[in-house]
Amino acid sequence: MNSENNQLTNDSTEVKIKHSGLGIASFIIGILCIILAVVMIILLSVSVNDIYISDEPTEEEILELVSSQPLFITSILVILILLFIQIIGAIIGIVSLFIKNRKKLFPILGTILNLLPILATVVLLLLSIVIGTYSTSTYSS
């Protein structure tokens, strides 16, 4: 009888820690968004070859661009939607980091995979603002 109680006690203490479902979801969101973003950037670069915009485009030129290059506009919109989805994926990854009794591998990977493209986008936007400000002040003086 004691050996049965010991066996039950030993079995009950061996609790296997599972992977976090939210962490796996965050990881999958990160991977899929990065793959789709790369595809959209390739399509965007292909469509940019046909576009020429003067230094100060008129409203008609902008409307003509939108109507003549649907791939260009669609690629930009899809990239923006992917960034929004990655923000959601990052939030899911961060939330899954705080779930107790779950493995943290996928939450960490998901959070990193979702935050890196967001961080890269913010850095590129800030860099373009700085370059735009610098180039505007250089030309106006």
DSSP conformation letters of 18-38: EEPHHHHHHHHHHHHHHHHHH
Provide, rounded to the nearest whole percent, the portion of the chain with pLDDT above 90: 55
Q: Give bridge partners of residue 18 from the DSSP assignment.
A: 102
User: Residue 14 corresponds to which amino acid?
Assistant: E
Average of per-residue pLDDT across 48-69 = 73
Average of per-residue pLDDT across 11-26: 84
The pLDDT of residue 9 is above 70 = no
Q: What percent of the chain has pLDDT over 70?
A: 81
For the ranges 44-48, 55-59, 70-74, 99-103, the maximum mean pLDDT occurs at 99-103
Q: Residue 140's pLDDT band (boundaries 50, 70, 90)?
A: low
Alpha helix segments (H runs only) across 14-104? 21-48, 59-68, 70-97
pLDDT band with cut points at 50, 70 and 90 for residue 133: confident
Residue 90 banded pLDDT, cuts 50, 70, 90: very high
Cβ–Cβ < 8 Å for 19, 106: yes
**Average predicted confidence (pLDDT) for the chain:** 84
Strand partners, 129: none
Distance between CA 83 and CA 31 in Å, rounded?
Answer: 13
Question: Rounded distance, CA 124 to CA 121, Å?
Answer: 5
Q: How confident is the model at residue 53 (pLDDT cuts 50, 70, 90)?
A: low
DSSP classification of residue 91: H
Contact between 138 and 110 under an 8 Å Cβ cutoff? The reply is no
Residue 76 identity (one-letter amino acid) = I
pLDDT at 11: 53
Give pLDDT, residue 13: 63
d(CA 23, CA 25): 5
pLDDT at 92: 97
Torsion angle, alpha carbons of 19, 25, 31, 37, to 10: -170
Tell me the chain's radius of gyration from C-alpha atoms. 25
